[in-house]
A and B are shown apart, each in its own frame.
Chain A
Amino acid sequence: MASESTPRAQNARANGLVDLYERAGYVRVEPPILQPAEIFLELAGEELRRRLFLTTDDGGRELTLRPDLTIPVCRAHLAGGSPNRAAAYCYLGPVFRDRGGAAGEYVQAGIESFGRDDREAADAECLALALESAKHYGCSALTIRMGDVGLFSALIAALKLPPVWQRRLLKNFNRSGTLEADLATLKHAPPPDAVHAGVLAALQGSDPAAARAFVTDLLSIAGISAVGGRTVGEIAERFLEQASLGATSGLAPEVTAVLERYLAIAGDPDAALTELRALAADAALDFSGALDQFEQRTGFIAAGGVDVASIRFATAFGRAIDYYSGMVFELYDSAGRVKWPLVAGGRYDRLLTLLGSPQPVPAVGFAAWIVELEQAGASR
């Protein structure tokens, strides 16, 4: 099937894609193109700023052309009633991102599903619909790359590391998607705080109230009154954390070994699960809850008719966006004729809370890039 490349034919195919989503029960929405910039910067961080097309309104409020549709759809959902209500949305429209030379305006389609407590089934349906999106464009030779951010969080929690290490590992996993380089630096982490060594030793084992009183005294002796942004309690708490680390500067070798073994696990989801269970048993770590969910999800994916053996799962695979919390995936043209993912998405249970929902809302979705799909479809 040689696909026609006229704008009319391309529009028809894109509309056909959204029809597919609507038939699957997703309600089409069209959030405003102009969005408050604040929310995107707060959620995605400063690295996004140079990618945004920013402008200012009369009152000096910073606005941006929407760089994606997930956040605008979430905002519309929150504005429309109880955050927890089950809802399924789909969209098609332009998004704007400075991609250094490549077109800054491009068309994106996608779905978002909110409020479903049967997370594993919802994940599997999301992946199935993503695969159907690619098929709609005639791309059937697809590489499915998959990861699970939640699994890593569960492992970190099971390792019962000091809070400092937990924060750092999670942050760096979210950011880089791969921790290999970071692990090397963590092994020989910063030298112990020599200047404060005496103070830290004195604080070791003391309770938060005593530490707080100590820091308050310290500041008043130094004649510092304004603490600026952080409370005395927070400063004292971090001092205590440092004290609890004691003389150890890097991660313990056995912890590093577990992390390295974990991050090396890759393969199809069934094979990976076997290795993960073996790791949990060998290291006497309990993160079976997360592993059971993983197994369940794989079951739902198989039941949906997807060849599980073809999925390339990797524990080290992540997407460089903070708000993902569970399964993440990207679909690529297997022949490699299109460099970028055709469709990508995942679970983001924290996002609606970050946007102001008083209670956590399960959420999963994906975005499909029309230009890439057209290319992959046409080059068959």
Chain B
Amino acid sequence: MSTLVVGVPSKGRLQENAHAFFGRAGMSLVQPRGGRDYRGTIPELAGVEVAYLSAAEITSHLAQGTVHFGVTGEDLVREMIPNADERVLLLDSLGFGHANVVVAVPQAWIDVRTMHDLDDVATAFHAKRGRRMRVATKYVNLTRTFFARHGIVDYRIVESLGATEGAPATGAAELIVDITTTGTTLAANGLKVVNDGVILRSQANLVASLAAAWGKAEREAARALLDRVAAERAARTLREVRSRFKAADAELVAEAKGRFGAIAPLGGPTSSGMLTLLAPPEAVHELAIFLRERGAETVMVAVPEYVFARENSLYQALVARLDR
């Protein structure tokens, strides 16, 4: 059964955002038997099956190779999969599900501002109390790696599967490592983030499993899917800039490339000076000024619906990694 399986979050904001993402890329996720169905399809693509799972399940399926693609947070990938880069490929960050994994200590620890301070406090705590400082977290592996990088050894992890931010107040731990978006929950619990204590800036990613079966059919389906994803990404991150004036020539295009990061996807200007460029949104206004200085009467800017390129960088990255 050579079907490409895509793991998609089954509930909450992550599901809504994932649906929106696939929708923008021209792929509708259909649950044939309604919202409680855990299997779905993408009518626009043949040979693709959607598996609705929790983000944590998606992550472990990616590691085991029982799904080919999945939408999940980088925090889960780094936490749950040892040597993650050997087993999965983070293809594209999707611009939603932002959250930071941070080290947070009680606000009263006014002498602790950096991880260096924390190291010293942890060692002193151990020496004085005869026991190690406890860190409440569900990110056991991220914590261990990060603390090791800062040379911190005098601590213990207390696994916490919910309401981690309450652990210092209840006396279950001295500090925490947890996920935060705005920091308000931390502050409400009398905690502050250590200055250099941001372990990971995470967001939702489209992740490929390197352990999955990647036969001819799966690769074809992946190419079609990633073609749409890449076209949507290009469309999301570029603006179409059009104009027509005599002075538009290859030299001018080269200057626009160098100064504004523009590309000429359809080649140089036509003989009548018809010019189509793609440029990053933040460079559009400067580019429009530049073009008018060189003789353009009118510059039109539009949001492209899709930009399909012959070269699919996402698919190429996947194949390069699979065949390594």
The reply to whether the CB of B109 lies closer than 8 angstroms to some CB of chain A is yes
The answer to whether A224 touches B121 (Cβ under 8 A) is no
The reply to whether the CB of B155 lies closer than 8 angstroms to some CB of chain A is yes
- B161 shortest CB reach to chain A, Å: 13
Interface string of B125-159 (1 = CB under 8 A from A): 10110111100000010011001100101111100
The answer to whether B107 touches A172 (Cβ under 8 A) is no
The answer to whether B113 touches A229 (Cβ under 8 A) is no
The answer to whether A46 touches B111 (Cβ under 8 A) is no
The answer to whether B153 touches A45 (Cβ under 8 A) is yes
The answer to whether B120 touches A164 (Cβ under 8 A) is yes
Stretch at the interface among B50-58, B168-176, B276-284: B168-176
B153-198 interface with A by 8 A CB criterion:
153-157, 168-169, 171, 173-175, 190
The answer to whether B123 touches A45 (Cβ under 8 A) is no
Measured between beta carbons, the chain B residues less than 8 angstroms from A190 are 114, 116
Interface size of A in residues (CB-CB distance below 8 Å): 36
A218-258 interface with B by 8 A CB criterion:
218-219, 222, 224, 226-230, 232, 234-235, 238-239, 242
- B155 shortest CB reach to chain A, Å: 6
- A62 shortest CB reach to chain B, Å: 9
Instruction: A190 to B125: give the CA distance in the assembly, Å.
Output: 21
The reply to whether the CB of B124 lies closer than 8 angstroms to some CB of chain A is yes
The answer to whether B155 touches A46 (Cβ under 8 A) is yes
Knowing A49-B144, A230-B174, the reply to whether A168 touches B120 (Cβ < 8 A) is: yes
The reply to whether the CB of A261 lies closer than 8 angstroms to some CB of chain B is no
- B174 shortest CB reach to chain A, Å: 3
Partner of A228, one of B106, B113, B131: B106
The reply to whether the CB of B110 lies closer than 8 angstroms to some CB of chain A is yes
Main secondary structure of the interface of B (DSSP, over half): mixed
Measured between beta carbons, the chain A residues less than 8 angstroms from B190 are 224, 226, 228
Instruction: A238 to B110: give the CA distance in the assembly, Å.
Output: 10
Instruction: A164 to B122: give the CA distance in the assembly, Å.
Output: 12
Instruction: A49 to B120: give the CA distance in the assembly, Å.
Output: 22
Measured between beta carbons, the chain A residues less than 8 angstroms from B266 are none
Measured between beta carbons, the chain B residues less than 8 angstroms from A235 are 108-111
Measured between beta carbons, the chain B residues less than 8 angstroms from A45 are 132, 153-156
Instruction: A239 to B190: give the CA distance in the assembly, Å.
Output: 20
The answer to whether B106 touches A49 (Cβ under 8 A) is no
Instruction: A312 to B106: give the CA distance in the assembly, Å.
Output: 48
Measured between beta carbons, the chain B residues less than 8 angstroms from A168 are 119-120, 123
Instruction: A256 to B246: give the CA distance in the assembly, Å.
Output: 72
A95-122 interface with B by 8 A CB criterion:
none
Main secondary structure of the interface of A (DSSP, over half): helix
Measured between beta carbons, the chain A residues less than 8 angstroms from B169 are 226, 228
Knowing A167-B127, A227-B108, A228-B169, the reply to whether A175 touches B120 (Cβ < 8 A) is: no
The answer to whether B110 touches A42 (Cβ under 8 A) is no
Q: From A193, A232, A234, A242, name the one whose CB has the most chain B CB atoms within 10 angstroms.
A: A234
Measured between beta carbons, the chain B residues less than 8 angstroms from A213 are none
Instruction: A235 to B189: give the CA distance in the assembly, Å.
Output: 19
A-B contact count (CB 8 A): 103
Knowing A45-B153, A195-B113, A242-B111, the reply to whether A228 touches B174 (Cβ < 8 A) is: yes
The reply to whether the CB of A201 lies closer than 8 angstroms to some CB of chain B is no
The reply to whether the CB of A47 lies closer than 8 angstroms to some CB of chain B is yes
Instruction: A141 to B119: give the CA distance in the assembly, Å.
Output: 43
Partner of A49, one of B114, B128, B157: B157
Instruction: A258 to B131: give the CA distance in the assembly, Å.
Output: 32
The answer to whether B108 touches A219 (Cβ under 8 A) is yes
Measured between beta carbons, the chain B residues less than 8 angstroms from A227 are 106, 108-109
Partner of A171, one of B107, B123, B128, B131: B123
Measured between beta carbons, the chain B residues less than 8 angstroms from A229 are 106, 125, 133, 168, 171, 173-175
The answer to whether A238 touches B116 (Cβ under 8 A) is no
Measured between beta carbons, the chain B residues less than 8 angstroms from A171 are 123, 153-154
Measured between beta carbons, the chain A residues less than 8 angstroms from B127 are 167
Instruction: A163 to B124: give the CA distance in the assembly, Å.
Output: 9
The answer to whether B155 touches A226 (Cβ under 8 A) is no
A322-355 interface with B by 8 A CB criterion:
322, 354
A354's closest neighbor in chain B, by CB?
B130
Measured between beta carbons, the chain B residues less than 8 angstroms from A354 are 130
Query: 8 more A-B contacts (CB under 8 A) besides A45-B156, A226-B106?
Result: A45-B153, A46-B144, A171-B123, A196-B110, A226-B168, A228-B174, A230-B109, A235-B108
Would you give 15 A-B contacts (Cβ < 8 Å), ordered by A? A42-B132, A47-B153, A175-B153, A190-B116, A195-B113, A196-B111, A215-B110, A219-B108, A227-B106, A228-B190, A229-B171, A230-B125, A238-B120, A238-B121, A239-B111
